[in-house]
Amino acid sequence: MIQCHLTKGDTNDIAWIEAKLAVQGKVVKIKQEDGTWDEGWIVSEAFPNVVLDSKVVNERSQDYKKTRVASDI
């Protein structure tokens, strides 16, 4: 998985996508939190200096759920 800058109209997003899809100018679809797919995102930039396994990316995406327990608030 490679982190990429994606654009769709006036909207920008940073997302982890499969390395084979991380080609500047390629149109991709990304999965939303509700499980639906949003099409028409353009890869405007890829950041290949960090490549991670999809399992690691998925695990890290869930870290926010433990923030309250780990903090002193």
pLDDT at 42: 97
pLDDT at 59: 81
pLDDT digits (tens, 9 = 90+) for 7-61: 999 999 999 999 999 999 999 998 888 999 999 999 999 998 877 778 877 787 7
Task: Give the range of the structural domain holding residue 36, as residue numbers without chain letter.
Answer: 2-70
Quick one: pLDDT band at residue 73, thresholds 50, 70, 90? low
More confident site: 73 or 22 = 22
Domains of the chain: total: 1
3-class SS string, the chain:
CEEEEEEECCEEEEEEECHHHCCCCCEEEEECCCCCEEEEEEEEEEEEEEECCHHHHHHHHCHHHHHHHHCCC
pTM over 0.75: no
